Amino acid sequence: MREITNYTILITGGAGFIGSNLCEYFLSKGNKVICLDNFATGHRHNLTACISNPDFTLIEGDIRNLEDCKKAVEGVDYVLHQAALGSVPRSIKDPVTTNDVNVSGFLNMLQAATEAKVKRFVYAASSSTYGDSVGLPKVEDVIGKPLSPYAITKFVNELYAEIFSKTYGIETIGLRYFNVFGRKQDPNGAYAAVIPKFVMQLMQHEDITINGEGNYSRDFTYIDNVIQMNELAIATDKKEAVNTVYNTAYGDRNTLNDLVAYLKEYLSNYDSEIANVGVIHGPNRAGDIPHSLASIDKAKELLAYEPKYSLQEGLKIAVDWYWENLR
């Protein structure tokens, strides 16, 4: 793999969970990193390790503003576009804002990157694009109909990226993230991700609520696997590896009941009472896909992707971080 060092990399949404991890990683590799964020969902404290680094630049701006996007891409080699309004429930409650950020904002960034002649535009796509497709594992070229406004926006991103590649010649790679978790993931708010939310509740000895019977399954993907995929997407020199999309996952699935059992087990090493915290089963959530499992064969073949962390391995590391930082 070509070493990624001494480049200038723009990370949009760089104050978010995934974005801030990418900022730290690429700074550690000797790159100049620019973070563009409006702090709608990201946090300044996520950038604590970056802010004093002379190779780090923070631009407080909004991808819905084309001029902010053009300013951010000046002199940039690669764009890692992470900025988005996540969450299926949020998109159902407010589809207009989700569309403004995820579609109009995406288009602004793609236009700005094209005009600036960046080497490659790598963007966060989503497993939600598989929609009502029932086949497992999920293979990149077989998708169903979207089940939420959020899923529509992420599919539209892929369509725009393809058109821009064909029409304007910019290289693009989409990474369909599958249930990413790990350090810096926000446990607070109405749309908090399930793992940090469950961890907080367990640490506080609060009963946790699982949507449905807990038999829905997910391909939970540890943050370091995602970092690896972003680096490979920048580094590849294969023509056949660009202007396409890849599943970004571990390639295994676990139910929500499995997840809770692992969290209880690992957190009980710190507090034995956590093993006794109750579990409540509520209704299934609108727009949720019942089962999600990625085929990672394409990423292995074209990008030499080798994910190092299973759910269990990632959770053991993440739980240590949660215990130190979220109590």
* Residues with active-site annotation: 150
- Taking the chain, what is the end-to-end CA distance rounded to the nearest angstrom? 39
Could you tell me whether strands 78-81 and 32-37 are parallel, antiparallel, or unpaired per DSSP bridges? unpaired
Q: If DSSP codes are grouped into helix, strand and coil, which group holds residue 129?
A: helix
- Token pair of 89 as six digits: 């429930």
Cα-Cα-Cα-Cα dihedral sign, residues 99, 196, 298, 214: negative
List, edge to edge, every strand of the sheet that includes 32-37: 56-60, 32-37, 8-12, 78-81, 120-126, 172-177, 244-248
Q: Whole-angstrom Cα distance, residue 217 to residue 83?
A: 26
Q: If DSSP codes are grouped into helix, strand and coil, which group holds residue 202?
A: helix
List the one residue out of 310, 89, 316, 88 whose CA is nearest residue 199.
316
